[in-house]
Amino acid sequence: MEKADITYQDVGGMESVKEEIRMKILYPLKNPDLFKAYGKIIGGGVLLYGPPGCGKTMLSKATAGEIQANFMTIALHQVLEMWIGNSEKTLHPIFEMARDNAPTVLFFDEVDALAADRVDMKLSGSRPLINEFLSEMDGCTNSNDGVLFLGATNAPWHTDLAFPRPGRFDRILFVPPPDEEARVSIIEILAKGKPVDRLDAVLMARKTKDFSGADLKAVFDLAIDRCLAQAMKQGRVVPVGMDDLLKAARDLKPSTRPWFESAKNYSLYSNQGGFYNDVLSFLGIMK
């Protein structure tokens, strides 16, 4: 458990996703009496999905920072145990800690690994773990009031259909690659505190179509490494110029394209309830 040290100001772009999270998570906590007047419980969850490296984890941490809530990151290796039955026992104390320290943002990274489709796991020992996960999210034994669930996945089509329902992950938000305006914001954030000479964030954003936030960071890392190699030889700081950044961008390929190739098929042929309509809209496909 930790206190998040970033807010939405540190996350470039994703304004529509931020506003959805505000409506679901932030506004109820800031106006609890008004929210409860309508008979609503403060809590619930949001599932973020999209290509890797587009800021799902960072956005989740920034959500906790926006409301000064506690932040807990749960990964697969922290839950799974070798012996059957032990994983369920590991999961319960995690939820109890979140409840005892509410308001808490409980973030499940790569949630599809913990919430896999039980239809595909008929003979698996993981089925009881998924059942326990569902029971804890429902608050069957203790109230989850003030516990906010955020999940991130690159493969939402592999999650069990019982998770996206009211009281669990009742909002499913597509986190696309940053658009040009968002890339400008991300580039400006990445350039802070670095010896970048005459940054033209608009030009660079135009030249990095389909790049994720992680891809843009990789561009900066590559350009900086090359300039740092020269700096060590010359014994002085060598500024990172626009030519260096643009060359690094040409040498790297956006990592989002392979994801969309796979997501396109699922969105077209396994789109129960219209969950993946946002992907189709992003791709410009009219089903």
Which are the contacts of 257, defined by CB distance < 8 A and separation ≥ 6? 210
Specify which residues 46 forms β-bridges with: 150, 171
Three-state SS for the chain is: CEECCCCHHHCCCCHHHHHHHHHHHHHHHHCHHHHHHCCCCCCEEEEEECCCCCCHHHHHHHHHHHCCCEEEEECHHHCCCCCCCHHHHHHHHHHHHHHHCCCEEEEEECHHHCCECHHHHCCCCCHHHHHHHHHHHHCCCCCCCCEEEEEEECCHHHECCCCCCCCCEEEEEECCCCCHHHHHHHHHHHHCCCCECCCCHHHHHHCCCCCCHHHHHHHHHHHHHHHHHHHHHHCCCCCECHHHHHHHHHHCCCCHHHHHHHHHHHHHHCCHHHCCHHHHHHHCCCC
Specify the pLDDT at position 123. Answer: 44
Specify which residues 153 forms β-bridges with: 49
Specify the pLDDT at position 80. Answer: 67
Which are the contacts of 181, defined by CB distance < 8 A and separation ≥ 6? 13, 205
Q: Which residues of the chain fall below pLDDT 70?
A: 41-43, 77, 80-86, 116-126, 140-141, 286-287
Q: What are phi and psi of 11, to 5 degrees?
A: -115, 115
Measure the CA–CA gap between 137 and 149, rounded to whole angstroms: 8
- Please give the model's pTM, rounded to 2 decimal places: 0.85
Task: Tell me if 283 sits within 8 A of 260, measured CB to CB.
Answer: yes
Burial class of residue 14, CB neighbours in 10 A (0-12, 13-18, 19+): buried
Task: Tell me if 216 sits within 8 A of 230, measured CB to CB.
Answer: no
Task: Tell me if 236 sits within 8 A of 242, measured CB to CB.
Answer: no
Specify the pLDDT at position 189. Answer: 92
Measure the CA–CA gap between 196 and 206, rounded to whole angstroms: 18
